[in-house]
Amino acid sequence: MKKTFLLLGLGAIGLFAFKKPESELQGVDIMSKSLAAMGAVKTMSYHFYASERFKDNKIEKADVEFRVIASPLKVYANALKPDAAQLRYEPAVSSDVNVKKGIKINLKPTAGLLLKQQHNPIYKAGFAYMKKVLDKNLALHKGDDLSKFVKLAGSVTYEGKDCHKIILTDPNYGFVNYTIKAGETIWKIAEAKAIPEYKVKELNNWMDYDDMVAGKTIKIPTAYAKVTTLYIDKSNNLPIYQKMEDDKGMYETYEFKELKVNPTFTATAFDFK
């Protein structure tokens, strides 16, 4: 019998996945548990290591300490690499990111200065956006046998933690034409379709994020990644290592180290030091 999922990804089969012993779990079962775990994270702190591919296949690396409250969203980031800076983002208070880099300035989350050496804006910190990407991309296979796309590739030890290795492969990954509608931005299109903004730039001759004209046809990817590899910590079902590959190979690799789930933050935890 085919395993299918409904509107929110793997929720329909999740009720059964929790009852199985580990020896009988399949990739779909583990993915279901991981999606549920990501959705249950209310607060978190972690040391974030990123490797991202940029123009001319240059790999940029980032090293950032994060504190995140999922809802209402509040983020503190202490960036160590590529440049030292502190950032604070609380959209319920201000639409700007507060930045301390020698001096204090306020910038839009998608400002060029903030995205010069990274793919994603600060509001994607934590697991909420990754969950959205997985839910949305798996929904492309609604009605199919998900075990064909979500594979358990054994166990790995990562940072001393026993992890499931899950590989999600999208055989239909490719590129399609998209006509820009009035008022749309790359950010709005990518948010709605759960695709990477930087990949849209790449596919369209490195167009500027603001180069959006209604009626113009651009290329966009059909999904976030062609292949996604996750190391899912067996102790908490969270994907502490994530590698996304596109048609050219490694696109993004993200590592969540020193992860603390649902800590209680002090009143000053999000203040600049």
Task: Give 262's DSSP letter.
Answer: S
Residue 114 corresponds to which tokens in the numbers above? 């903030």
The pLDDT value recorded for residue 209 is 82
Give just the sign of the alpha carbon dihedral 221, 227, 245, 45.
positive
| Residue 21: per-residue pLDDT | 54
Domain range annotation of the chain: 43-126
Strand 239-246, strand 175-179: pairing: unpaired
Specify the pLDDT at position 2.
Answer: 39
Give the per-residue pLDDT at 137.
Answer: 84
**pLDDT value at position 16?**
36
Distance CA 192, CA 123 (A): 15
Q: Return the sign of the alpha-carbon dihedral for residues 151, 132, 71, 69.
A: positive
For the stretch 90-127, pLDDT in tens is 999 999 999 999 999 999 999 999 998 999 999 999 99
Strand-pair partners of 176: 220
Q: Which residues have C-beta within 8 Å of that of residue 162, sequence separation ≥ 6?
A: 155, 233, 234, 235
pLDDT at residue 142 in the model: 84
Low-confidence ranges of the chain (pLDDT < 70): 1-25
Residue 24 confidence (pLDDT): 53
Q: Whole-prediction pTM value?
A: 0.90
